[in-house]
Structure 1
Amino acid sequence: MVHVPHLIRDLALILGAAAVTTLLFKRLKQPLVLGYILAGLLVGPNLPLFPTITDQDTIRIWAEIGVIFLLFNLGLEFSIKKLAQVGGTAALTGIIEISGMMGLGYLTGQVLGWSTMDSIFLGGIVAISSTTIIFRAFDELGVKTQQFAGLVFGILIIEDLVAILLLVLLSTLAVTNQLFSPEMVMAVVKLVFFLVIWFLGGIFLIPSFLRTNRTFMSDETLLVIALALCLGMVILVTNVGFSPALGAFIMGSILAETLFAERIEHLLKPIRDLFGAVFFVSVGMLIDPAMLVRYAGPIALLTVVVILGKALYVTVGALVAGQPLKGALQTGMSLTQIGEFSFIIATLGVSLRVTSEFLYPIAVGVSALTAFTTPYLIRAAGPVSGWLEGRLSKRTRMILSSYSTGAQTIGSVSDWRLLIRAYLQNILVNMVVVVGIILLASRGLLPFLLREELGRPWAQALTGLVSLVLMLPFLWALALKPVSPPLYTHIWNEEKAYRGPLVVLNNGRIVLALGLILLYLNQLFSFTLMIGAIVLLLMIWWLIGRRIPFLYELIEKQFLVNLHARQLQEVARPGRNLLPWDAHLAYVDVVPESASVGKTLEELAVRERYGVNIVSIERGSITRLVPTRDDRLFPGDKLAVIGTDQQLEQFRTLVEANDTPGDAPGQEVSLERIMVDETFPYIGQTIRRSGIRERTQGLIVGIEREGRRLLNPDSSTVFLPGDVVWLAGNTRLIRDMQKQMRDQ
C-alpha cells in the first residue's frame, strides 16, 4: 500500500474545509478571513466532531511562511514614498488613534484583572485595524472613490509601519520584561538604523540588478528571484535579531519602488493566497470553543471598546488634523475593526510564552465580530454625521468649519528650518551609510580574511583599505558637500549674525566625519599603525580627491533614478494620468437595477450632468468604441469612462456599479497625449473637419493651450500650434496615426 505523508493529508483536510467555508462566507458577503478561521476551528484539535489534522508542527511552519508572504505582499503595496505622501493629516490622525487605543487596551486589560504583559499585548492588538477587511468592504460598498477613503488608506499605511515597530518592541519587552529599559531604546535605534541602511542599499542595488536583466525576466524567473530576495532578507534580518516578518516587509517595500512591482504582486498572488489561507486556518486551529464561551463577556466588552474607541479616537484625530465633521466620522467608523496584524501580535505572545492562553482566542473572537460590523458602520457613517450635525449648535458648527478651513491652509516655513532639515537629512543618510560600511567590514570582511589565514596585521590592513575607499564618497558628502547652496547663500547674506551658526553647522559636519574615521581606525590598528593609515588616507585623497564629488553624484543620481522609476513609468503610461484635470480612464458595470438601463446616451446626458466621457461600451464579445448619442445602455454593459474621481463617483450612482480599474476589457481603449507641432497635419482645422474621430474611433477629451485647460472641447475648436491634445479611443488606430505623423 502506498503511504501518503501526513502533511499531504493535513493539507487536503485544511484546503477542503477552507473551500467549503469560504464559499459559504462569499455567499453571505462576509470577509473570507473569517471563513478561514472557521475552517481552522473545524479541523483543529479543539473540535472533535470533524476530522482533525495530525501534524500540527508542520502546519505551524507553513503558517509562518504564510506570515512571511502576507508581509511581503503588504510591503509591495506599501512603498516608502507612500508614507511621505500620506501627509500630516493621516500621520496625526494615525498617531492619535494608535496612542489612544494602546492606552485604552491596556486600561481595559487592567480593569479585567489581567497581567501587565497581557494588557500591553492587548493594547497592541486593538490598536491596528485590518487592511484586508477595509479594502474588501470599500470595494463591496463602492466608496473607494470618495474623499474620506484616501485618508483611511493613509492611516492604514501609518498603522502598518507602527505594527512593524510594535513587533520589535514587544519582542524586546518579552525578553527584558521592562517597559522602559536601555534594551528597548537600543532596539528602536537599531531598528531605525537598519531600516535606513537596508532601504538605501536595497534601492541602489536591487532595481539596478532587475533592470539590467529585464530582457531575461520571464514570469517564472521573476517570481523565483523575488521569492529568493524575500527569503534572503528574512534570513539576514533574523540573524541581526529582528522578526522574519520585518524582513519580508522590508524587501516588499524595496521591490515596491521597482518597475516590476505590479508584475511581482500579480505573480505572487496565488502563493500569497495559498499560504495566507494556511496561516488564517492555523489561527482558527488555536481557538478553543470552550474558551470562547468562558470569555464571552470580555470578548463582548472588547468588541465595544474597539468599535467605540477607534471611532472616537480616529474622529477626534481627523478633526484635530483639520477634516470636516462628516469626513472625520466616515473615517472613524471605517477603522472600527482589528485583523491580520492583530493575529500576528497575538501569535507573537503565544510563541514567546509571555501571554495567557485566553488572549489569543479572545483576539480572534473580537476580530470576527468587528469584521462583521464594519460594512454596516461604514454605511451608517453618513446618516450618523447628518444626525450629529443636526444636534450641534450653529456656533459649534461654525467653529468646526472655521477650524477645518484654517487647518488646511498652507503655512510658511522659515529658511532656517528648511536649511537645518536639509543638513540633518544629509548627515543622517551619509552617516548611516558610513556606519553600515564599517559594520560590514569589521563583522564580515575581517572575519572572512582571518579565516583565510591571511594573518591579523594583513587582514586588518586590507579591511581598513577597502572600507576607507568605499567610505570616501560618503565621507566627502558628510563633511564637504554643499547643502542647499542658494538657501545657504541667502541666509549668509541676509544678516551677519547668521554667519556664526552657519560656520558651526559646516564645522560640525567635518568634526563628525573625522570622528567616525578615528573611531574606526582605532578599532582596527594600534596608535602607530593608525597614524600610517591616516597618512595613506590623505595620499588616496590627494590622488583621487577631485573625482570623489563626481563619483558621489553618479551614486546619488542612480539612487534617485531607481527610487522614482516606477512613478515616472506611471506618469508616462497611456491613459493613466490626465494631469490637467486629475482625470483617468476607469471601467464601470451597468447592473440590471440601474435607472440608466434602456436609455440612450442623449437621454442620460452623462457629459452635461456628470462631466464624464464614455469612450466605449463592451457588450458580451462586442465592443462599441466612441458610442453615439443614440446608443442605449443594457444590463451587463461594461463602460470605459474618463473623468475625475468626483465625477466618476457621481456617475457611479447612475449605473450603480463599482469602479474596478483592474478589470479592463483588454487593450483596445487608451488615453493618449499628442503634441500639436510641425508634424501634426491638422493645424488650423477644427476638430470636426480634421476627421480624427472617424480615423481613430477616438474622442478628444481635453486640450491644453497657453496655460488654459479646455475640457470636453466643442467640435468647432481649431487646433493651434503648441496645443496638447488628449485623445481617447482605439489604441492601435491612434498609434498608427502617430506613426504616420512622424514618418511625414
Structure 2
Amino acid sequence: MTHLPYLIMDLALILGAAAIVTLLFKKLKQPVVLGYIIAGFFVGPHFHWLPTVYEPTNIQIWAEIGVIFLLFSLGLEFSFKKLIKVGAPASVTAVFEVVAMIALGFGTGQLLGWNFMDSLFLGGILSISSTTIILRAFDELNVKTQRFASLVFGALIVEDLVAIVLLVLLSTLALSQQFAGAEMLQSVLKLVFFLVIWFAAGIFFLPTFLKKTKKLMNEETLLVVSLSLCLLMVWFANSVGFSPALGAFIMGSILAETTQAEKIEHLVKPVKDLFGAIFFVSVGMLIDPKMLVEYAGPIALITLITIIGKVLSTTFGALLAGQSLQTSVQAGFSLAQIGEFSFIIATLGVTLKVTSAFLYPIAVAVSAVTTLTTPYLIQSSRPFYKWLEKILPEKVQNALSGPGSKAKDTQSLSAWNQVVRSTLLNTFLLGMLLICIVMVSAEYALPYIRNHYTDGSWVKWATAFITLLLMLPFLYALAVRNTNSVAYREVLASNRYNGRLNLIHFFRLILAGSFIGFLMHRFFSFEAGLLSVLVIAVIIGVFNKKIRKFYDRIEARFMRNFNERELAAAEKNRSELAPWDAHIATLELHPESAVIGKTLMELHWREQLGINVVLIKRGEHSIPAPGRNERVYPGDEIFVLGSDAQIKRLQAIIRPIKHHDEEETNPANVVLRDFVIDEKSSLLNKTIRGSGIRERIKGIVVGVERNNQRILNPESFFEFQQNDVVFVVGDGKLINKLIHEHH
C-alpha cells in the first residue's frame, strides 16, 4: 500500500471540515469567513472529539501562501487611481478612525496590564475594518447605492493602504524592540521609496508586456504569468526587508491598472479562495477554549470598545471631513468590526514572536462577535440617526450640517496652484528614479562586476559613465523641461508669477546638480561631481532636442500604460457621429435624479437641448440607439451626443434633487429585484395595470422573462402567466412586502 503523506490527509481534513461548516453557515446566512474559523477550531489541537491535523507546520506554510494571495487579490481591487479618486472626505475619515483606534487599543492594553508590544499590536488589530464582511453585508441589505456607502468604500480603500504601512511599522518596531523615532521614519521613507519605484517600473513595463503577449495568452497562461509575477514581487519585497504580503499587494495594484485586471481577478479568485480558506482555518486552529474562558472579561471589554470606538471615531472623522450627520452616523455603524487584516497583523505578532499567546485568540473572538453584529448595526444606523435628530438641539444640528457638509470633495485650483502641484509631483517622482538608478549602480552593479568579472580601475569609470547615460533623460526633465500644459501657459501669459517661476527653475537646476554630485560622491569625490555637473550641462545643451524626444517617448509610454484601462474604455465607446463641435459624453444617472423612470419621449432632451442619446448601458446590457419609449433607470450610463454647453445643461437637469433635510433627499432604497409568478400568486393572470404593482412599490416593472426570453419594458396591458420572472425597480422594503403578500 502506498504511503499517503500527512500533508494530503491534513488538507483533506481541514477542507472537508471547512466545506461542511460553511454549507451550514450559508444556510444560516452567516459570513463564510466565520465558518472557516470555526472549522479550524474543530480540527485544531484544542478540540478532541474529531481528528486533529498531523503536521500544523505544513498548514502554516499553506496559510502564509493564503495571506499572499489574499493581499494579491486585494491589490487587484485596490488601484492607486481609486485612492486618488476617493477624495478628501474618505481619506480624512479613514485616517482619523485608524489613529483613534490605535490609540484606544493601546490604551486598553495598558489598562489591562499588558506589555508594550501586546498593547501596540492590539491597537493595530482594532484599527482596520473588514472589506469582505462589509461588502457582504451591503449586498444582503441592498444599501450599496446609498450615499453613505460610497464614503465607506472610499474609507476602506484608504484603510487598505494604511494597513500595509502599519505592517511595515509594526515589523520594524517588533524587530528593534524599542520605539526609535529615527528608525521608524527611515522605515516609512524606505517604504515610500520602494512603493514609488515598484509602481513606476511596473506601470512602465507590465502593461506593455501584457499587450505584446496578449495573443499568446489563453486563460491558463495568463493565470500562470500573473501568479509568477506576484510571487516574484513577494520574493523581491522579502529580499529588501519588507513582508511578503506587501510585495503581493503592490503587484496586485500594478496589475489593477492594466486592461487585463478584471480577467486576472476572475482567474485568481479560485486560487485565492482555496488558500484563503486554509488561512482562515489555520486561524481557527489556534483558538483555545480555556484561554477564551480565562480572558472572557478582556474579550467582552475589547469587543465593546471596538464597536463603540469605531462608531464614534468614524462618525467624528466623517463630520470633520464635512459630511452630514446622517452619512457620518451610517458610515460609523458600518465600519464597526475587524476582519482579515486584523488576522494578518495578529499573525505577524505570532510569527515574529513578540506578542503573548492570548492576543491571537482574543483577536479572533472579537472579530467573530463584531462580524455577527455588523448587519444589525448597519440596519440600526438610520433609526439611531433619527433618535439623534430628535434629541440634539437645533443649533448643534445646524452646526453639523453647515457649509462643510455641502462642500465638494475637490475644488477647482488656480492655474498657479496646478503648476506648483504638478512641479512638486514630477520632481518627487524623478528624484526617486534618479536615487534608484544611483543606488542600484553603486550598491549592486559595481560590486557584481568586480566580483564576477574584473576589478580594474577602469570598471568604476565605465560604470559611472553608463549610470550617467541612464540618468541623462531624467536629469534633463528635472532641470530643463517645462510642461506645455494649459495651466503653465496661463501662468506664463499672466506675467504675475515670473519671479516665482524663475525661482522654481533655479531650484530644479540645483536639485539636478545635486543628483550628479550624489552619483560621483558614491563613486569618486566631491570635486569629480562638480566637474560632472559642467559636463552634463554641456551635453544637455548640445543634444537638447534628442534628449527631449527620448524623454517624451518614455513619458508618453508611461502615461499611456497608466491610463490604459481608461483609454481602452474610451476607444470602445468612441463614435464617429460627431464631425462638428459636438462629442460623445458619458453620464451616470443617480438614483435620486428627477428623470428616473421617464421615457426619452417624456424627457424631450432632443427638442429642448439638442441632445441625442446614442446608447444606454445598463450593467452588462447595452441598448444602442434607444427608441423614444425607452425608460432610464438608476445607475444607467447614458452616452449622449452634444456640445459642451448642451451637455452642461443636461448635467444640471439630471442632477439629484436637493431637499432641505437628508430624510427627503434619500426617501427610498431604490433597487432592482426579481420574483417568480407561481400557481399560488395573486398576480397570476393579471395585467401590470390591474395588479397595482407600480403604485404599491413606488416603481415600475422593467422586464419579464418568459420561456427563457426577456421582454423589456412590457406595456401596462401585459398579462402575467405562471413561471414568469418579473423584474421590478422600486423601494426595496415595499418590494419585499409585495413579494411576501403575493406568495
TM over 0.5: yes
Distance in 2 of aligned mates of 1:635 and 1:166: 57
Question: What's 1:147 paired with?
Answer: 147
Correspondence for 1:579: 587
The aligned residue for residue 17 of structure 1 is 17
* 1:230 paired to 2:230: yes
Q: 1:619 to 1:132 in 2, by over 3 A?
A: farther
* Pair 1:157-2:244 in alignment: no
TM-score, length-normalised on structure 2?
0.82
Over 3 Å counting, the alpha-carbon distance change for 1:533 and 1:636 in structure 2 is farther
1:423 CA displacement: 1.6
CA contact (8 A) 1:73 1:272 kept: yes
Secondary structure in 2 aligned to 1:590?
strand
Q: Does the C-alpha gap of structure 1 residues 404 and 503 become closer, same or farther in structure 2, counting only changes over 3 Å?
A: closer
Residue 95 of structure 2 is matched in structure 1 by: 95
Give CA-to-partner distance per residue, 1:269-293, whole Å, 9 cap, x none. 1100000000001101111111111
- Tell me whether 1:444 sits opposite 2:477 in the alignment: no
Alignment partner of 1:505 is 2:504: yes
User: What number of residue pairs does the alignment pair up?
Assistant: 648
CA drift at 1:622: 2.9
Does the Cα contact within 8 Å between 2:675 and 2:727 map onto a contact in 1? no
- Alpha-carbon contact 1:230-1:251 (below 8 Å) kept: yes
For residues 243 and 83 of structure 1, the distance between their equivalents in structure 2, rounded to whole angstroms, comes to 22
8 Å contact 2:89–2:409 — kept in the other structure? no
Structure 2: gaps of 5 or more residues: 575-583, 591-615, 621-671, 738-743
Structure 1 window deviating more from structure 2 (580-589 vs 60-69): it is: 580-589
CA distance in 2, matches of 1:439, 1:475: 16
User: Judging changes above 3 Å, is the alpha-carbon distance between structure 1 residues 377 and 613 closer, same or farther for their aligned structure 2 residues?
Assistant: same
Q: Deviations over 1:546-593 (max 9, x none)?
A: 111122221111111111121233455579995264675148442359
Deviates more, 1:174-183 or 1:329-338: 174-183
2:704 to 594, 613, 617: 617
Shift of 1:317: 1.3
Structure 1 unaligned regions, length at least 5: 642-647, 658-744
Distance 1:37 1:455, change over 3 A: same
| Separation in structure 2 between the aligned mates of residue 298 and residue 68 of structure 1, nearest angstrom | 31
Q: Report the counterpart of residue 326 of structure 2 in structure 1.
A: 326
Greater alpha carbon shift after TM alignment, 584-593 vs 364-373: 584-593
The answer (yes or no) to whether the contact 1:167–1:345 under 8 Å persists in 2 is: yes
User: Structure 1 residues 495 and 329, CA, compared in 2 at 3 Å: closer, same or farther?
Assistant: same
Alignment of 1:361-376 (within 5 A): 361-376=361-376
Shift of 1:629: 3.3
Instruction: Decide whether the 8 Å contact of 2:117 with 2:354 is kept in 1.
Output: yes
Give yes or no for contact 1:596–1:633 (8 Å, CA) kept in 2: no
C-alpha spacing 1:165/1:13, structure 2 compared with 1 (3 Å) = same
Deviations 1:86-119 (A, max 9, x none): 0111011111111111111111111111111111
1:591 to 672, 675, 682: 675
The answer to whether the Cα contact below 8 Å between 1:22 and 1:36 also exists between their aligned partners in 2 is yes
Measured after TM superposition, the shift of residue 625 of structure 1 is 4.7
The residue that corresponds to 1:390 in the other structure is 390
1:520 equivalent to 2:604? Answer no
Corresponding residue for residue 178 of structure 2: 178
In percent, how many aligned pairs have the same letter? 49
CA distance in 2: counterparts of 1:409 and 1:59, whole angstroms: 46
Partner of 2:480: 480
Q: Deviations over 1:370-422 (max 9, x none)?
A: 00000011111111111111112233323323344444486564554333212
How far off its partner does 1:437 sit?
1.6
Contact in 1 for aligned 2:701/2:714 (Cα 8 Å): no
Find the counterpart in structure 1 of residue 634 from structure 2.
none
Q: 1: CA distance between counterparts of 2:58 and 2:714?
A: 58
Q: CA, structure 1 residues 235+422, in 2 after alignment: closer, same or farther (shift >3 Å)?
A: same
> Is the 8 Å Cα contact of residues 87 and 410 (structure 2) preserved in structure 1?
no
State how far apart, in whole Å, the 2-side matches of 1:224 and 1:384 are: 50
Deviations 1:175-195 (CA, angstroms, capped at 9, x unpaired): 122224211110000000110
571 and 538 in structure 1: CA distance in 2 versus 1, 3 angstrom threshold: closer
SS state at 2:402 partner: helix
Which residue pairs with 2:559 in the alignment? Answer: 560
One-letter amino acid of the counterpart of residue 293, structure 2: V
1:445-460 equivalences in 2 (<5 Å): 445-460=445-460
Q: What is the alpha-carbon distance in structure 1 between the residues aligned to residue 330 and residue 514 of structure 2?
A: 53
User: Could you tell me which amino acid in structure 1 is paired with residue 515 of structure 2?
Assistant: L
State yes or no: 1:350 paired with 2:383: no
In the alignment, does 2:214 pair up with 1:211?
no
How far, CA to CA, are the matches of 1:128 and 1:561 in structure 2? Answer: 34
C-alpha displacement at 1:542, in angstroms? 5.7
Deviations 1:614-668 (A, max 9, x none): 3x53346333355333335679766778xxxxxx6x45555449xxxxxxxxxxx
Q: Distance in 2 between matches of 1:609 and 1:364?
A: 42
The 3 A distance-change label for structure 1 pair 635 and 508 is farther
Deviation at 1:68, TM superposition (A): 0.2
Q: Give CA-to-partner distance per residue, 1:143-167, whole Å, 9 cap, x none.
A: 1111111110000011111000000
Matching residue of 1:302: 302
8 Å contact kept, 1:36–1:284: yes
Relative distance call for 1:274 and 1:540 in structure 2 (3 A) is same
| Preserved CA contact (<8 Å) 1:94 1:155 | yes
Could you say which residue in structure 2 is the equivalent of 1:119? 119
Query: Deviations 1:524-565 (Å, cap 9, x if unpaired)?
Result: 235787688667646754664311112222111111111112
- CA RMSD in angstroms comes to 2.9
Q: 1:269 to 1:609 in 2, by over 3 A?
A: same
Letter in 2 for 1:557: A
* Structure 1 CA distance for aligned equivalents of residues 269 and 201 of structure 2: 26
Would you say 1:631 and 2:718 are equivalent positions?
A: yes
Is residue 149–residue 331 contact of structure 2 (8 Å, CA) maintained in 1? yes
Q: 1:523 to 1:578 in 2, by over 3 A?
A: closer
Give the 3-state SS of the residue equivalent to 1:624 in structure 2: strand
Judged with a 3 Å threshold, the aligned counterparts in structure 2 of structure 1 residues 168 and 620 are, in CA distance, closer, same or farther, namely farther
Q: 1:528 to 1:293 in 2, by over 3 A?
A: closer
Give 1:487 deviation, angstroms.
Answer: 4.1
Contact preservation (8 Å) 2:306, 2:337: yes
Q: Distance in 2 between matches of 1:248 and 1:125?
A: 20
Aligned CA distance change for structure 1 residues 261 and 492 (closer, same or farther; 3 Å)? closer
1:385–1:230 distance in 2 versus 1, CA, 3 Å? same
